[in-house]
Every structure is written in structure tokens, then in C-alpha cells.
Amino acid sequence: MTPQTIPDLDDIKIFTGNAHPALAEKIAGQLGLSLAKSSVRSFADGEIEVKLGESVRGKDVYIVQSTSPDVNRNLMELLIMIDTARRASADRISAVIPYYGYARQDRKVAPRAPITAKLVANLITTAGADRVITVDLHAGQIQGFFDVPVDNLYAAQVLVDAFWQCRECSLDEIVVVSPDAGGVRRARYLAHLLGRHIGGEASLAIIDKRRSGPGKVAEVNLVGSVNGKTAIMVDDIVDSAGTMSVAADKLRDEGAVGVYACITHPILSPPAIQNLGKKCTIDPTIDRLDGLIVTDTVPLRPDAQECGKIKVASVSHLLAEAIANIHGRGSVSSLFPDVEAYN
């Protein structure tokens, strides 16, 4: 659905907080709109104040706000903006959260532990959101934490297209690697999309890792073969990049001639760039990664912007198409015709 075919385009209002205004501007531009005016600022003590600069009475409102660092502040901005739009009599409020923070806390992994992903879902719903639009949820079951519709969009095609433009190998020389057993479906889907360029599917491998603590890997094993091939690790989040660094070393050790990573959410908390920029521990003449392809669901940190190995692909058109279909009462699942075979 294009901007020309969206009914009542004037009824759409797109607002943004301070998390990622550049992405919000791209989304609005894809729809042929300008961002709606708003003010999101702080008092001296850090208390957040929100003012909408345009009427939203009877409008279809979309608030674009990733819960990227500073996670808690950006989440609070989102909640207040939703409440503001609700009290201003918006007809429908959709929270567009390209990166849904706290998603890694989706279950109890120990006694007396919270399920924070559910808590955040409750907060967003209570604030007044009628719908949530997000990209590559860390755990699909989080959709069930909400009592409102959730559209979980897939960034795989965006990542595949970006990789294909910078690749230096053919499809039969590629193996897609899942960093853990839980990511196999994501890896299979990406392998399928890679196959569209030539036909067939890329082969698969799985990293079997044992953790000694959060973000710390004690042991890594490889299921499958990467010898003589270019390995593409695929995951939804890269935070400190500790796991990715260990996995990249393992792939090199197992004979991979190239190692890339396709990641949706580049959180890249320190020391991620230092970890990824180091040489392979197996052969200090070789870089750990040949390239890191990410999307712009969160803005890159300054040190990541200076890293020459990172290629950013935008999900703005994906989010814009979803908004257009939702507003026009169309299908969102039609944007991903093959994904059901891999769920």
C-alpha cells in the first residue's frame, strides 16, 4: 500500500520521543507525511514533560519510540506520550517500538525473579495504547503478554538485501549460523530468503553454548560444518558482543573463510566495539568479523558510527508499510508471505 492509496492520509499523526527521531522522520517521509509537532523535555530534577503541538482528536496516532539506551527514560517518555494522546481524545493510539527493551526478561529463570517483559506490556497497555508495532521481538511469546494487538515485524529481508550487496561469495559458499538452539527458526528463514537470489537455501549450523553468567560464555561447540565457507551469524540483539566474539573465534577455528553477522538491534554496549574489532584469537592475522550488518531500530553509539565494519540498513520502509496497511485496514502478514513456514 502506497501513500497515494492510503485512505484519509490526513487522519494519521506520527509523533516521536527522543529515542530515535531520525527513524521517525524516515517513516513519516515514506508515508509522504511530516512528523507531528511535539515537545518532550525534562525539568531540572529529570521529570519528563510532554506537550503535543497539534490536535489529535479523532486521529490515528502513531508514537515512534524505541526503548534503546537510556532504556528507562525512553520507556517513560513513551508511556507519557501515550497517556497524553489518550487524554487528548485520539481515536486510536499505536505504540511503534522498533526495539522492545526488557524482552530478554520474558520468563522466570530463577526463584524470586521478575518477568519484566510482562510488566512493561502492562504499563504500555494501561497507559492507553490500542496496538503495538515492533520489530523482531526477542521472544515471540511476548505478544501474548499484551491485551491489545501486537504486530511483530521481521527484519530478515532487510538484512539479507544489505548482506547481498556487500557479499564476496556465492550462495553455495554460505552457511547461516544460529548462535543458539532458540534462534534456529530465525536462521532458517534468513537462509530461505538468501535462496531467493539464486534458488535453493543456504546450509545451516548451530552454536551450542553454555553460559557461566549473564553475557558470559564458558563453553562453545559447533553443530554443522563451516569449513571453507562464509558463515553468517544471525540474531536479534547484540549487546556487549561477548557471545558473538567467542562464536566468531569458534567459526574461524572450524575453518570458516569469512565471518559476517546480521543483527536487528545493535545495542552495542561497551565494550562491544572493542570486542568485535579485535583479531581472531586462533589466528591473530585475521579479523574476527568481516562485516556486521544491522538495522536502524536503535541509533548507533558514537564509537559504533566510527567502526568501518558496520553497515546499517533501514527498517523505515517496513514500518511505514505496516502503518499504511493498519490504517487502511489491510493485512500486515502479507508483508512476510513465507514466514509462517518457519514459525
Q: Tell me the catalytic residues.
A: 209
* Joined grid coordinates for residue 38: 511535539
* Cβ-contact 96, 62 below 8 angstroms: yes
* Cβ-contact 180, 205 below 8 angstroms: no
Mutual angle of helices 116-127 and 71-87, in 10-degree steps: 30
Burial 321-341 (b: 16+ CB within 10 A, else e): bbbbbbbeeeebeebbeebee
Neighbours of 226 (CB within 10 A): 24
Burial 148-162 (b: 16+ CB within 10 A, else e): eebbbbbbbbbbbeb
> Residue type for 191, please?
A
Bridge partners for 238 per DSSP: 266
* Joined grid coordinates for residue 227: 569449513
Burial 173-203 (b: 16+ CB within 10 A, else e): ebbbbbbeeebeebbbbbbbbbeeeeeebbb
As a whole number of angstroms, the distance between CA 214 and CA 243 comes to 10
* Joined grid coordinates for residue 14: 506520527
* Cβ-contact 28, 35 below 8 angstroms: yes
Task: Give the helix/strand (H/E) hosting 96.
Answer: strand 92-97
